[in-house]
Amino acid sequence: MAGITLKNVTKRWGNFVGVENFDLEIADREFLVLLGPSGCGKTTTMRMIAGLEDVSDGEIWIGDRMVNSLEPKDRDIAMVFQSYGLYPNMTVKENIRFPLKIRKVDPATHEERVARAVAMVELEDFVDRRPAALSGGQRQRVALARAIVREPTVFLMDEPLSNLDAKLRVSTRAQIKNLQHELKTTTIYVTHDQIEAMTLADRVVVMNKGVVQQVGTPKEIYSRPNNVFVAGFMGTPAMNLIDGEIADGVFAAHNIRVPGLSKQVNGKVTLGYRAEDASLSHGDAAGEITAPIYTFELLGDASMVAVKAGQSIAAVKTDKDYKAEIGEPVSISVPAGICHLFDAETGGRLD
């Protein structure tokens, strides 16, 4: 078992910077999720930790070893990718045993270790099949078992669920969480899916354009995003973000006015609030938006009502039995207490 430390890790290809000054200590046994949009540098970071990509600047430590110049095979890491990477001509059991063979692990222990890994991912009934005769979810579990069987110091998982359908994603996600809890292996998991990040992570690293935007527990990132990018990326739906001006503690823009905000902040800002924190009102709330309904969606356990505020959409999550028509006037109560303020230019958090 070991923690991982990245000290100002940078990856450049010519003038292009793929990852810039990534600086983080990952605790032993931690489940860390790298989250961000396509191209933000998640996979590159992971590949540098695995040793599949050289580091341009900075240091990577696994436990008390600086691993920059260590071969991938000597880093004691097991990787799980979205493409399962199984050998088609081997059975499930042979696939899972393979890492033990190439690592010359004592053959007397193979049987027991493979059986244990197979049991953990509940593949007992499939051990003699070849990958072609398995479903996507079963193949993904074989890939997981093959990582588990090595009992590595670190798991690196790169979008391991992205080839699965929605239902399988949820169950396999739960299985991964459970396995990591049981094995207590330090895990770095890459995804662009913020629900995966929220549900799996001890801590999330949100990245954009090669730069870390925020590191924190899912709750911290959800409830206090550092900047507009994080606010807009984390949460379903994303935080409502409305550009306007604040003076003497009053935010004003288009059809929205919110008093009672910080008097320390003045000028152009972006005001954010989450749809589930707001409520419908009768046009008499201290801070509110009044406008015709732009969209109305039934979500099953709730309804989402949205209006336009300038170019932005301002939504409120409300009762599942709420009935309304598009175009009907509505008022959304947005009290100061649920609002987040960001700098209009830099996007940085102000409050």
Q: Does 42 bind ligand ATP (CB under 6 A)?
A: yes
Query: Could you give the C-alpha distances from 182 to 186, 187, 278, in angstroms and in order?
Result: 11, 12, 39
Q: Which of 39, 85, 136, 137 binds ligand ATP (CB under 6 A)?
A: 39
Q: Does 38 bind ligand ATP (CB under 6 A)?
A: yes
Q: Does 36 bind ligand ATP (CB under 6 A)?
A: yes
The closest residue (CB) to ligand ATP is 43
Closest approach, Cβ 193 to ligand ATP, in A, equals 10
Nearest partner of 10 among 27, 1, 22, judged by Cα: 22
* Residue that the structure tokens 């001890």 belong to: 202
Closest approach, Cβ 332 to ligand ATP, in A, equals 34
Can you name the residues that pair with 33 across neighbouring β-strands?
189, 204
Closest approach, Cβ 107 to ligand ATP, in A, equals 37
Distance of alpha carbon 60 from the chain centroid: 22
Pick 206 or 242: Cβ nearer ligand ATP: 206
Closest approach, Cβ 245 to ligand ATP, in A, equals 35
DSSP, res 239: P
The bridge status of strand 16-26 relative to strand 295-298 is: unpaired
Burial class (CB in 10 A: 0-12, 13-18, 19+), 207: buried
Distance CA 116, CA 299 (A): 41
Alpha helices in 65-193 (DSSP H): 92-102, 107-120, 136-148, 166-183
DSSP, res 238: P
Q: Does 236 bind ligand ATP (CB under 6 A)?
A: no
Pick 201 or 278: Cβ nearer ligand ATP: 201
Pick 94 or 193: Cβ nearer ligand ATP: 193
Q: Does 160 bind ligand ATP (CB under 6 A)?
A: no
> Helices 92-102 & 136-148, crossing angle to 10 degrees?
30
Pick 16 or 112: Cβ nearer ligand ATP: 16
**Piece of 41-49, 238-246, 265-273, 324-332 that binds ligand ATP (CB under 6 A):** 41-49
Q: Does 192 bind ligand ATP (CB under 6 A)?
A: yes
Can you name the residues that pair with 9 across neighbouring β-strands?
22
DSSP, res 217: -
**Piece of 37-45, 89-97, 102-110, 126-134 that binds ligand ATP (CB under 6 A):** 37-45
Q: Does 44 bind ligand ATP (CB under 6 A)?
A: yes
Closest approach, Cβ 31 to ligand ATP, in A, equals 18
Q: In the complex, which residues of this chain contact ligand ATP (CB under 6 A)?
A: 13, 16, 18, 36, 38-44, 192
